[in-house]
Structure formats: C-alpha cells, structure tokens
C-alpha cells in the first residue's frame, strides 16, 4: 500500500541537507497562520450559533432567561405527530441505509470509471451535480409519482432512502473525487494487476484504503444530509422523520424560542454523531 | 464486473482466460440504472410538464417564456448570488481546509472541525437566516448592517456560512493527497514557497478546487428555504419564484411555470458545467 | 471477497425491505356502508354507525393544521380523546394550494389527506376533488357560506387586523404607520402574490385608504409609500420575528394576532373602522379519502355546537365560527370566548372570487415594483 502522509507531518529526520532554521521558521509561520485562521473562522461560525442559543433561552420578555423552549422538546403534547424518540430512531436508520447505499453505489463506480471507462467521467460528474440544480420543492413534483407507487408497497419513512441517496450524490461524489484525484490510480492499479490481482482486489484492497479520508468525509456529509433534510420529507408528508418532527414541535407552541432550541439540539446531536463517526473511520496511522 | 485476471501463475495479464466479453462500461450499470429511475425520470417528468399548460395539453411555446425580461432577472439574480457565495466559500473554505490539513492528522482539532463542517454544511433555512437577522439585522445584537436586506450582499453572507464548511469537507482529501515529500523536494531544489505553489501545489489542487467551487455553485443555486426566510416580499432568485409558482394560494400557482423555471436552471447548470469542463481541461494542461 | 460484497449488498436491500413493512390496506369498512359515497350521516345509518365505522378505520389524515392556528391543537386533542381515532397531522405550514397538490399526488396511498381546510380561491378551483357531504348542523351554516352541492362549506374566519407592540402607544389610523417611529417595523404574513393572509392584508390597507374591493391599487400604493418611508420590512412575520422585535407591526387575521398566539404579552390589535375585511376558510372532504368514515366524523365534530365541539373550540382560538349567528340565538355559543373577540363597528366586506382574482393579478404585475 502506498504510504500517504499529509502535508504538515513532521518529515523524517532522514531528509538531509535542509537548513534546520528554515524549517523551524516555516513551522512557526504555519502555526501562527493556523491560529489566526481558526480564530477568525471559529468566530464567524460561532456567533450565529450563540445568537440562536441565546434566543432559545429567552424568557417571555426579551432580556430574561428561561429554559421553557428546551423543556418543550421533552414535554410537548402529542398532537398528531409521533413521539420524538421514534422520529430520531427512524432518521438514524435512514441515515445508515442512505450512507451505505450511496457509498456502495458510488465508490466502486467512481474507481471503475477512473480505471477503465474515463470517457464516462464527465457524464457521471454532471449526473452527480444535477440533483443540486433542481430545488427540492420542484424535485418533489417529479418524484411524486414514483413515491406514490412506492407507497403502495410501503408507507414507512425508511423508503425515503431512495431519494436521499440521490440528494447525497453531489456531496459524496465531490468528496470522493477529491480523494480519488489525490492518488495515482493508474500506477497503483497497474502495479497490483501485474502482481496478479483481480479488478475487484484492486478496487477494494488497493485503491479504496487510500481514499479513507474521502470516504469518511462522504459518509459524514451523507449522514449530516439525512439528519438535516427537511423539505422533501415534509412535502411527501412523512412527518415521522426528524426535521419535520422538530418543525411540528415548533408549530405546536406559540413559544418562539422552540424553533431555536430544537434546531440547536438537532445540531448538537448531529455534531456528536459525526464526531463519533470520525473516530470510527480513522485508523491509527503507523509511520510508513 | 468483468473478471479478467487469472491468478494461477500470478503474473498473467487480462487477456488470458477471459470468460465473458462484457464491455468495461457494464460495471457502471448499477449506478446508471439507479440514477435513471430516481433522478432522470423525475427530471424528465419536470421537463415534460414545463412544456405543457395547466389543462394538460402541449405548449412548446412555453420555452420562450424563459427569455422574458422578468424571468431573466431572476436568473441573473441567481447567478450573482451563486457566483459570489461560491467564490467566497471556495476561497475561504480552501484556506480553512489547508489550516486543518497541516495539523495533526489524528488530532482533536481536525476531528472537531470536520464534524462541525459536516453539520454546518447542511445547516440553513429559517434558523440560519433568523440567526443572522438577530445578529446584523434591523434590531441587530452585533450591529445593524444597512446592506443586510440589499441583494445580494446580505444573503451572500448567510450562504457563505454553509458554503465554507462544505468546501472544507470536499477539498480536504485533496490537500491530504499533496505529499509533504514534494514540498521538501522542491525546497531542496531551492524553490521558494511561491514557486512551490505556482508549479507544484497549485496545479495539483486546482481540479479539486474547481470541483469544490462547482459544487458550491450548484449548492447555492437550488437553496430555497434560506432565501425565503431572509426576505419574503421580493423574489430575487429563481427558487423564490418557483416557490410562489408552486404554493401560491391566491390563484397564481402554476406548476408548469415552476417546472419551466426548473428547466431553465438545468440548462443554466449545463452551461456552467461546460465552462467548468473547459477550465478543468486547461488546468490539466497546466499540470502536464 | 466478492461474495462478502454481494452479501453486504443483499443485506442492505433485505434490511430496507424488512424494515419497510407492509402498507396498510385501503379502508372500505368490512360489511356495511361504504362511507365514501354517503352524503350525510343519516344517509349512512346514523351518527352511531358513523362513529363505529370511523373507530374501525382508526386513523385520520389531516394536513396544514398548525396547532396554534385557531386552536387546532385543542381540536385535534379533543377529537382523539373523544373517539380514540389517531390523527396524522402533516405539512403544518402548508398553503391551501399545497394541500390540494398533496391530495392529487398522494392519491390512492394510505397517506392521502382525508380532509382539507383551504382558502376560498383554492376551494372554488378544486371542487372536482371533493366529496359532497352535509353535516348534521348543515342548516345552521348561512347559505352564502356553503356550496349548494355540499362540496365545500366555510368553517371559521376573522377580520384582517393590524397587530402591534404596545411600545408604539395606540394606533387609531392606518396613516400613522408612515411615521418615522415605525422604521423597518411593518410586516405582512407572507408574500401577497402567494399567501392568502398577505393578499388580504394589502386589500385591507386598500379599503382603509379609500380604495374599493374591485381594485387593490391604492393598497399597493400605500405599501409603496411605506417602503419609501423605510417602514416596510421584507421579512415574513412569524412568532420568532415578533418576539425578537424585528417585526413589531404585523398585518394578519385577528385570530392570528392574539397575544397568546403571537407569544408576546404587550400586543394590541387594531382594525381600521371602514376597512373590515373578512375572510373565511372552507372545509372539504377528499373524494378518495383513505379513511372516509373518519373524515366525515371529523366534519361532524367540527360543526358540532357542543361546548367542546369544533365551533366553540375555534371560537376559543379567536376565530369566528361560521355558525356564530345560529349559535348565539340558540344559546350554545361560549359567551366568554365570544366576548373576547375584537369589536368592530360597521359591516364587514368579503371579497368575491372575481375580486380576489383581480387583486392577485394586479399584485403579480405590480407588487415587486412597488416594494422593491
């Protein structure tokens, strides 16, 4: 397996004839750069989130504090929507199914195309960008008839995965393409094939492991997409998926803070989940 | 997928022992089948509907409506917003991705930023627009930005909020693939940082950068809920007008118009992707 | 390797199919009346038979009924408590057009909406989707407010009002809104080319500045002036924007301008004296409802004059039930709730279908220019 090291790892001491001072200076500059970037972007991302959090803790008069918006999530009365826990469960299952199907569909196909059928590359790229071009509200018009047929077989919200995979394609494709482009697929595959590997072995045991970060990022993006997807589930009248459920909780009460407590809770939940996933995907890299 | 290699001697290349003469594109059939059913067919429904009128009969002349000055205005508005937010998102996202990539590959900061990016990339809609409204809107907590309601500036800032994390996620695998040995090698040969980026790093990362920017463009193109939550009274961009055409309850709803606008977006995307393909080809030449 | 790959793929497909489960079957009640074709409870064998059939169906699909809109939350709970029928409430913020679209696109599935609550424009345009049905209290609905073929019947309504934060003092006339103290403050409930409530908001302003229901141009001019004065906010007024102070003045139906709905306590309501613009919504039953008996029982519940029937519950939500006149004379109305309704002097105006269409067309051509 080719060793891939990332850009900033400290190079091995065997790299000779390089002035030590220059390296230290560059490292210091890079560190300053990193801290500045993290601080600036951190602030930019944090401020709206803090505003949301503050608003979710507003009391009935502006300027006071109250936990009522958060308590509502746990205690809302069930007027026509399923309990929150069942919606979370369904959405998690949906996320897993969608991620698996997306990766199974995309990774072999992309590797295969890069290896053997390059002329299809732009076509696949276009097809994988198309779902983003059509606003969800119009896409529902198009998939309505298909889902009508699906619902004759099953009204379960898990059937949403068929369209969620399509929604995830643009993001997963781009993450995977970035990873695929970073490795020299041709050389790796020629080397493996000359050692007698089958195409399947080449794809699964040679190339895919070099795309670990890309596959992980695609997985994270798909997961986050399913956890955050609202419009299509809402317009197809699936109210037992997380975001429509949170929306229903919000509409259940005149307490305006609830939409923010539910949003913030959903963000925290997704963040915790993605963080855990990122640990699961990353191998402890040895040196070489 | 076609199984070609034999493993008897361990060194026999593809031709020997080929059992099926299946063309190599056959390996992409699962992907294309799935995409045809769940993406192309709905798109076809939308496109066909756009050329009909509400009573159901054909109206090919509908397509000339796309040239209407009012409609052109929406498309120009969409292009402005998408260009601005994708350029800002791509540039800042690339910088942030670089800062993340040059750190410890197994460190906490990297995982945190990746998880946060995953979550924020899919964050948007009412809550995001409201958070900015509360921060820099008319009664802003931070300050009142007089440009907040002027198109495209206010909405661009909001869009950039989710564009940057998306860029981080799809660009990071590419940066990871730029091996540190190449940087060392170029330094050993006496190249300055600028020369390294100009001749080595830049060309390597350009395809992924352009791909990321394209994804951001498409991402901004179809975003609807955020724009409507930012400002409801005037439709500046195509999705806002599509929303009115689909859900107007005062008698102005017209599914065919909505479909037509969606068709216009697909055509626009095809044009953008052609430009993008040309750019990639030039960048690839630069790499040679 | 290959087999494990195939196994994984098969596992995914199997898991998804297994997890999916089977659809619930259609809902014609076994052995007995086909409630889908009954035009009244008595025709189908009486209310008891209807209740029994509905309970057997066990579910009701409703759409676009936010719990905080005209007290629908309490209505849903009361119905479920009384009959034990589970209600699936989807698309709470849907527009009337989206309701009708859902009926069409979900046709034949178990999730299709059973009943609709739509604006008049949408109701009149889609009668082919509705089933004729006369509730037990049909006679108590004024004849001008129901379809002679019983396909739609109005349910509740209100008058267009201006709700505002009491920090502005008391508003007594529309033109006060042009004052600089209302900078960035005045908002509608949506875009008038799209939302019924917003169109009526502009029409109310139109009437208040001397316009007539036949032409909305003066109303559009008023908002144009408002925009030039810097007082018009382009944001849709929601509970959140009101609470945050972004939209402290809102044009909305009076039952949506209740302090309890809006969520802030210092909220006042003003209806201009010569601009009492009324608007009623209408009920309808889906011709192909998956749960026809439950749908009809729901309508019976909504039009019941009981103390905890639909009419009084809507009244508690600040809306005027369509049977208000009849219930006031026969004493079944909730007196204390009725007393809380904003008093109006003068007779209300109601837009005809033609006037509403003309207004919409005018807005489509001129609104963006006026407030852009």
Instruction: Return d(Cα A217, Cα A179) in angstroms, integer.
Output: 10
The domain spans of chain C are 35-157+280-339, 158-278+344-371
**Per-residue pLDDT at A282 exceeds 60:** no
Instruction: Return d(Cα B192, Cα A271) in angstroms, integer.
Output: 40
**Least confident among B21-30, B238-247, C149-158:** B21-30
Instruction: Return d(Cα C33, Cα A245) in angstroms, integer.
Output: 36
Mean pLDDT over the full length of chain C: 88
- CB contact under 8 Å between C236 and B134, yes or no, is no
Residues 6+ apart with CB under 8 A from B94: B167, B171, B205, B209, B212
Query: What's the confidence (pLDDT) of residue C312?
Result: 94
Residues 257 through 286 of chain A touching chain B, CB cutoff 8 Å: 259-260, 263, 267, 270-271, 274-275, 277-279, 282, 284-285
Tell me if domain C35-157+280-339 and domain C158-278+344-371 are identical in fold: yes
For B68-287, CATH number out of 3.60.15.10, 1.10.3720.10, 1.10.287.3610, 3.40.50.920 equals 1.10.3720.10
C59 interfacial to chain B (CB closer than 8 Å)? no
- CB contact under 8 Å between A142 and B41, yes or no, is yes
% of chain A surpassing 90 pLDDT: 38
A8 compared with A196, residue with greater pLDDT: A196
C366 interfacial to chain B (CB closer than 8 Å)? no
Instruction: Return d(Cα C225, Cα C222) in angstroms, integer.
Output: 5
Q: Are B249 and C195 in contact (CB under 8 A)?
A: yes
Mean pLDDT over the full length of chain A: 84
**Least confident among A260-264, C86-90, C332-336, C342-346:** C342-346
For C35-157+280-339, CATH number out of 3.40.190.10, 3.30.1490.100, 3.30.1330.10, 3.30.700.30 equals 3.40.190.10
Instruction: Choose from B128, B235, B241, B249 for mutation: most chain C CBs within 10 A.
Output: B249
Spell out which residues of chain B touch residue C9, defining contact as CB-CB under 8 Å: none
**Per-residue pLDDT at B42 exceeds 70:** yes
pLDDT band for A165, please (50, 70, 90 cuts). very high
3-state DSSP assignment of residue A80? coil
- CB contact under 8 Å between C235 and B228, yes or no, is no
Spell out which residues of chain A touch residue C261, defining contact as CB-CB under 8 Å: 254
Instruction: Return d(Cα B167, Cα B114) in angstroms, integer.
Output: 11
A61-74: average pLDDT: 81
Instruction: Return d(Cα B264, Cα B261) in angstroms, integer.
Output: 5
pLDDT band for C147, please (50, 70, 90 cuts). very high
| Among C50, C220, C71, residue whose Cα is nearest residue C133 | C50
B17 interfacial to chain C (CB closer than 8 Å)? no
3-state DSSP assignment of residue A28? helix
Instruction: Return d(Cα A195, Cα A244) in angstroms, integer.
Output: 53
Instruction: Return d(Cα B75, Cα B261) in angstroms, integer.
Output: 9
- CB contact under 8 Å between C68 and A252, yes or no, is yes
Mean pLDDT over the full length of chain B: 85
Instruction: Return d(Cα A133, Cα B216) in angstroms, integer.
Output: 11
CA distance to partner chain B, nearest, from residue A260 (Å): 7
Q: Are C93 and A251 in contact (CB under 8 A)?
A: yes
- Name the neighbours of B, counting chains with at least 3 Cβ pairs within 8 A: A, C
B141-153: average pLDDT: 85
CA distances from B98 to A7, B185, C33 (A): 9, 20, 70
Q: Are A214 and A8 in contact (CB under 8 A)?
A: no
Tokens, residue A285? 């890299």
B27 compared with A18, residue with greater pLDDT: B27
Instruction: Return d(Cα A282, Cα B104) in angstroms, integer.
Output: 13
Of C94, C184, C194, which is closest to B138 when you measure between CB atoms?
A: C184
The domain spans of chain B are 1-50, 68-287
Size of interface A-B (CB pairs under 8 A): 329
- CB contact under 8 Å between B244 and C372, yes or no, is no
C337-353: average pLDDT: 86
C203 interfacial to chain B (CB closer than 8 Å)? no
**Least confident among A22-26, B102-106, C289-293:** A22-26
Query: What's the confidence (pLDDT) of residue C9?
Result: 55
**Per-residue pLDDT at C191 exceeds 70:** yes
% of chain C surpassing 70 pLDDT: 91
Instruction: Return d(Cα A7, Cα A182) in angstroms, integer.
Output: 12
DSSP, res A62: T
Phi, psi of B58 (to 5 degrees): -65, 145
For C158-278+344-371, CATH number? 3.40.190.10
The domain spans of chain A are 20-56, 80-281
Query: Tens digits of per-residue pLDDT, A228-247?
Result: 999 999 999 998 899 998 88
pLDDT band for C25, please (50, 70, 90 cuts). very low
B140 interfacial to chain C (CB closer than 8 Å)? no
With respect to CATH, is domain A80-281 assigned 1.10.3720.10?
A: yes
DSSP string for residues in C335-365: HHHHHTSPP--SPPEE--HHHHHHHHHHHHH
Spell out which residues of chain A touch residue C63, defining contact as CB-CB under 8 Å: 237
pLDDT band for B2, please (50, 70, 90 cuts). very low
Name the most confidently modeled range: A20-24, A46-50, A52-56: A46-50
pLDDT band for B1, please (50, 70, 90 cuts). very low
Q: In this structure, which long-range contacts are made by residues B144-150, counting pairs with CB atoms below 8 Å and at least 24 apart in sequence?
A: B149/B231, B149/C234
DSSP, res A205: I
B147 interfacial to chain C (CB closer than 8 Å)? no
Which sign, positive or negative, has the C-alpha torsion B10, B13, B17, B18?
Answer: positive
Query: Tens digits of per-residue pLDDT, C43-92?
Result: 888 999 999 999 999 999 999 999 889 999 999 999 999 999 999 999 99
Q: Can you give the three-state secondary structure of C130-141, one letter per residue?
A: EECCECCCHHHC
Residues 209 through 268 of chain A touching chain C, CB cutoff 8 Å: 234-235, 237-239, 244, 247-248, 251-257, 259-260
CA B75 remoteness from chain centre:
17
C116-121: average pLDDT: 93
* CA atoms within 13 A of residue A111's CA, in its CB half-sphere: 27
C160 compared with B176, residue with greater pLDDT: C160
DSSP, res C146: B
Query: What's the confidence (pLDDT) of residue C133?
Result: 95
ipTM value, please give it: 0.83
Instruction: Return d(Cα B224, Cα B261) in angstroms, integer.
Output: 13
**Least confident among A76-85, A211-220, A254-263, C13-22:** C13-22
- CB contact under 8 Å between A136 and B122, yes or no, is no
Of B230, B251, B253, which is closest to C356 when you measure between CB atoms?
A: B251
Q: Are B200 and B215 in contact (CB under 8 A)?
A: no
B53 interfacial to chain C (CB closer than 8 Å)? no
- CB contact under 8 Å between A225 and B9, yes or no, is no
């Amino acid at each position: 397996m080719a060793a891939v090291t990332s850009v900033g790892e400290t190079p091995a001491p065997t790299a000779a004839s390089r002035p030590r001072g220059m390296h230290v200076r560059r490292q210091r500059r890079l560190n300053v750069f990193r801290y500045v970037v993290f601080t600036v972007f951190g602030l930019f991302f944090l401020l709206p989130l803090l505003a949301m959090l503050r608003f979710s803790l507003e009391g009935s008069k502006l300027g006071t504090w109250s936990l009522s918006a958060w308590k509502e999530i746990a205690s809302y009365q069930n007027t026509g929507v399923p309990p929150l826990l069942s919606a979370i469960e369904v959405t998690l299952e949906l996320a897993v199914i969608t991620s698996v199907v997306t990766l199974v569909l995309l990774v072999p196909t992309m590797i295969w195309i890069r290896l053997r059928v390059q002329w299809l590359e732009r076509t696949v790229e276009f097809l994988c960008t198309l779902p983003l071009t059509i606003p969800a509200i119009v896409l529902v018009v198009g998939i309505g008839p298909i889902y009508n047929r699906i619902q004759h077989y099953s009204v379960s919200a898990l059937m949403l995965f068929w369209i969620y995979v399509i929604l995830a394609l643009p993001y997963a494709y781009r993450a995977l393409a970035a990873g695929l482009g970073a490795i020299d697929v041709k050389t790796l595959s020629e080397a493996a094939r000359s050692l007698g590997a089958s195409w399947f072995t080449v794809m699964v045991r040679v190339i895919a492991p070099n795309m670990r970060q890309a596959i992980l990022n695609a997985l994270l993006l798909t997961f986050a997409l399913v956890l955050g997807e609202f419009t299509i589930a809402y317009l197809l009248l699936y109210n037992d998926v997380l975001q429509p459920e949170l929306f229903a909780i919000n509409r259940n009460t005149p307490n305006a803070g609830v939409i923010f407590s539910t949003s913030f809770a959903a963000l925290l939940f997704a963040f915790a989940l993605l963080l855990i996933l990122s640990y699961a995907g990353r191998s402890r890299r040895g040196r070489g | 997928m076609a199984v070609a290699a034999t493993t008897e001697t361990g060194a026999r290349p593809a031709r020997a022992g080929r059992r099926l003469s299946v063309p190599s594109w056959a390996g992409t059939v699962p992907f294309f089948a799935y995409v045809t059913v769940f993406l192309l067919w709905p798109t076809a429904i939308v496109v066909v509907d756009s050329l009909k009128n509400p009573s159901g009969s054909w109206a090919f002349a509908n397509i000339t409506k796309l040239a209407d000055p009012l409609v052109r205005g929406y498309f120009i508005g969409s292009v402005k917003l998408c260009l601005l937010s994708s350029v800002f998102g791509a540039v800042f996202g690339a910088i942030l991705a670089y800062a993340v990539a040059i750190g410890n590959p197994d460190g906490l900061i990297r995982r945190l930023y990746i998880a946060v990016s995953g979550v924020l990339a899919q964050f948007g809609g009412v809550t995001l627009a409201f958070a900015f409204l509360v921060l820099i809107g008319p009664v802003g907590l931070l300050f009142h930005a007089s440009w907040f309601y002027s198109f495209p500036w206010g909405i661009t800032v909001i869009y950039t909020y989710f564009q940057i994390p998306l860029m981080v996620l799809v660009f990071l695998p590419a940066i990871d693939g730029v091996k540190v040995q190449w940087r060392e090698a170029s330094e050993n040969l006496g190249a300055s940082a600028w020369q390294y980026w100009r001749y080595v790093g830049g060309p390597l990362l350009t395809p992924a950068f352009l791909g990321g920017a394209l994804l951001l463009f498409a991402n901004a193109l179809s975003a609807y809920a955020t724009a409507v939550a930012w400002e409801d009274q005037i439709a500046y961009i195509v999705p806002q007008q599509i929303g009115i055409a689909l859900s107007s309850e005062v008698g102005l709803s017209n599914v065919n118009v909505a479909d037509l606008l969606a068709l216009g977006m697909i055509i626009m995307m095809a044009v953008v992707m052609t430009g993008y393909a040309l750019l990639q080809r030039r960048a690839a030449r630069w790499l040679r | 390797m290959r087999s494990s790959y195939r196994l994984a793929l098969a596992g995914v497909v199997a898991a998804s199919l297994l997890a999916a489960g089977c659809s619930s079957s259609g809902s014609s009640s076994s052995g007995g009346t086909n409630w889908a074709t009954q035009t009244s409870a008595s025709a189908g064998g009486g209310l008891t038979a209807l209740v029994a059939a509905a309970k057997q169906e066990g579910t009701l699909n409703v759409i676009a009924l936010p719990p905080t809109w005209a007290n629908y939350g309490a209505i849903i709970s009361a119905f479920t408590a009384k009959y034990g029928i589970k209600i699936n409430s989807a698309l709470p913020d849907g527009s009337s057009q989206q309701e009708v679209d859902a009926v069409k696109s979900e046709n034949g599935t178990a999730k299709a909406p059973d009943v609709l609550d739509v604006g008049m424009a949408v109701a009149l345009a889609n009668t082919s989707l509705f089933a004729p049905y006369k509730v037990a209290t049909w006679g108590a609905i004024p004849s001008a407010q129901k379809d002679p073929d019983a396909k739609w019947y109005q349910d509740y309504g209100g008058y267009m009002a201006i709700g505002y934060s009491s920090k502005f003092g008391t508003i007594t006339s529309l033109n006060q809104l042009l004052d600089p103290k209302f900078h960035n403050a005045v908002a509608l409930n949506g875009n008038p080319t799209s939302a019924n409530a917003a169109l009526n908001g502009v029409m109310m302003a139109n009437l208040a500045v001397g316009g007539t229901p036949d032409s909305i141009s003066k109303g559009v001019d008023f908002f144009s002036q408002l925009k030039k004065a810097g007082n018009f906010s382009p944001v849709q007024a929601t509970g959140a924007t009101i609470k945050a102070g972004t939209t402290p003045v809102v044009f909305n139906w009076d039952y949506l301008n209740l302090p309890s709905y809006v969520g802030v306590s210092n909220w006042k309501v003003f209806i201009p004296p010569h601009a009492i613009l009324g608007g009623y919504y209408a009920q309808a039953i889906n011709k192909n409802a998956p749960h026809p008996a439950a749908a009809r029982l729901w309508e019976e519940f909504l039009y019941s004059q009981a103390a905890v029937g639909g009419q009084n519950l809507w009244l508690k939500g600040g809306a005027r039930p369509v049977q208000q006149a009849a219930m006031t004379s026969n004493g079944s109305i909730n007196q204390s709730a009725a007393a809380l309704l904003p008093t109006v002097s003068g007779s209300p105006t109601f837009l005809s279908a033609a006037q509403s269409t003309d207004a919409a067309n005018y807005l489509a051509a001129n609104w963006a220019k006026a407030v852009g």
